[in-house]
């Protein structure tokens, strides 16, 4: 007579103390390879700065992480679960939100119409009012500009509007791609101040940047890419002298 045994729990695929992990990722576009064995780990409520020169593979990492590109090899792990190949909207439902490079707003609509269009799709008509209030609390300038056409906003204000459209979804991980691109220094400071508020709310961040010093004002951990490979990684403290170790890598000199 056989004896029933208790089922064994499946092994955890990834470390339980990590929110998101890219493990040995290879990816590209058709026959052209862009990433070669990239490893990135993001603990909960932490900030990772992903740095590198143009063409280093940063945007490809972002597209893989948000599901826009499926890796040719390697795994995406979310809280230890293998989510490789999940569609972008599925990853967004899980809590991974991507704020893409550029302004990503409807220029012919007002600020509020941009927000309402997004919020009604996600939260329905009843939930929209509360989400508008939340967006204006997080971005007071958007409240001041609510009746203004989005196309007439400054570059920095359009970036804020783009962020407001995704942040009220309550992400656990926000991926930002070159938010400071083309902005005046004073506007960059405002955008990063907002990112600091987002971090303080408990949301983890992956900040993709060329501006080393700006990204490091928030970063707990740093990964530097060059030619599709990780050439430096560690905590901000472990990497030591920024000018000697990070800048050459970021500018493609190693």
The whole-number pLDDT of residue 251 equals: 60
The whole-number pLDDT of residue 238 equals: 79
Domain 20-101+204-250 sits in CATH at 3.40.50.300
The whole-number pLDDT of residue 47 equals: 96
Residue keyed to tokens 């220029």? 107
Backbone angles phi, psi at 67, to 5 degrees: 85, 5
Token pair in block for residue 197: 């508020």
The whole-number pLDDT of residue 143 equals: 93
Q: How far is CA 135 from CA 80, 102, 120, 121, 122, in A?
A: 31, 20, 14, 16, 14
Strand order in the sheet with 47-52: 96-99, 173-177, 204-209, 47-52, 221-226, 229-235
Domain ranges of the chain: 20-101+204-250
Strand partners, 38: 25
Q: Burial, 156: exposed, middle or buried (Cβ in 10 Å; 0-12, 13-18, 19+)?
A: buried
For residues 137 and 21, what is the distance between their CA atoms, to the nearest angstrom?
32
The series of mean pLDDT values per 10 residues for the chain, 254 residues long, is: 46 67 96 95 95 90 95 96 94 88 81 92 87 88 94 86 80 87 77 85 89 83 94 83 57 54
The whole-number pLDDT of residue 33 equals: 94
For residues 114 and 248, what is the distance between their CA atoms, to the nearest angstrom?
40
């Amino acid at each position: 007579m056989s004896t029933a045994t208790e089922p064994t729990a499946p092994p955890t695929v990834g470390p339980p103390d990590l929110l998101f992990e890219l493990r040995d990722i290879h990816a590209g576009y058709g026959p052209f390879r862009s990433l070669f064995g990239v490893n990135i780990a993001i603990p909960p409520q932490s900030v990772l700065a992903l740095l590198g020169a143009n063409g280093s593979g940063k945007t490809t990492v972002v597209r893989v992480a948000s599901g826009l590109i499926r890796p040719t090899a390697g795994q995406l792990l979310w809280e230890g679960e293998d989510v490789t190949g999940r569609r972008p909207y599925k990853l967004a439902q899980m809590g991974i939100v991507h704020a893409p490079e550029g302004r990503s707003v409807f220029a012919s609509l007002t600020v509020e119409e941009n927000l309402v269009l997004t919020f009604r799709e996600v939260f329905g008509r009843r939930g929209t009012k509360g989400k508008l209030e939340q967006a204006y609390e997080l971005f007071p300038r958007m409240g001041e500009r609510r009746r203004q056409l989005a196309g007439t906003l400054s570059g920095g204000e359009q970036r804020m509007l783009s962020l407001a459209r995704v942040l009220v979804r309550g992400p656990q991980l926000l991926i930002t791609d070159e938010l400071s691109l083309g902005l005046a220094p004073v506007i960059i400071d405002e955008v990063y101040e907002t990112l600091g508020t987002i971090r303080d709310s408990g949301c983890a961040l992956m900040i993709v940047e060329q501006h080393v010093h700006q990204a490091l004002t928030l970063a707990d951990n740093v990964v530097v890419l060059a030619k599709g490979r990780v050439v430096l990684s560690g905590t901000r403290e472990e990497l030591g002298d920024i000018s000697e170790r990070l800048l050459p890598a970021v500018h493609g000199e190693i």
